[in-house]
Amino acid sequence: QVQLVESGGGWVQPGGSLRLSCAASGSMFRFVSMGWYRQRPGKQRELVAWISSGGVENYADSVKGRFTISISRNNAKKTLGLQMDNLKPDDTAVYLCNADLGAINGSSWGRGTQVTVSS
């Protein structure tokens, strides 16, 4: 079983920065990819950024050049990060961490962390 816990959300003014973290733990934890999704009010959940187990990064066009995904690995624990710069009001959302564990094990989700960008 894999557990994902997000942290680092909060309120920031437009143009500001925040860094989100997702602590991942669990026995025999292997993943195909890990990513950040967001749920904006009244909109469908969307994939923001993801990184493969081999370290290949991908970003949604709306955040390209402003967000940076990272992953650190320390034995059985992994931490997924999302550095968000030049934030815009449209980035306001609940940000959720996801781990794709493959066809057999499916995927795991965190509960999310709120990011609010406003003046």
Q: What is the pLDDT of residue 28?
A: 53
Rounded to whole angstroms, the Cα distance separating 99 from 35 reads 7
Q: What is the pLDDT of residue 108?
A: 93
Q: Summarize the chain as % helix, strand, coil (round to 5).
A: 5, 55, 40
User: If 0-12 CB within 10 Å is exposed, 13-18 middle and 19+ buried, where does residue 4 land?
Assistant: buried
Q: What is the pLDDT of residue 1?
A: 75
Per-10-residue mean pLDDT of the chain, 119 residues long, equals 93 98 79 94 95 94 97 82 98 96 89 97
Q: What is the pLDDT of residue 85?
A: 98
Q: What is the pLDDT of residue 29?
A: 64
Tokens of 103: 């066809």
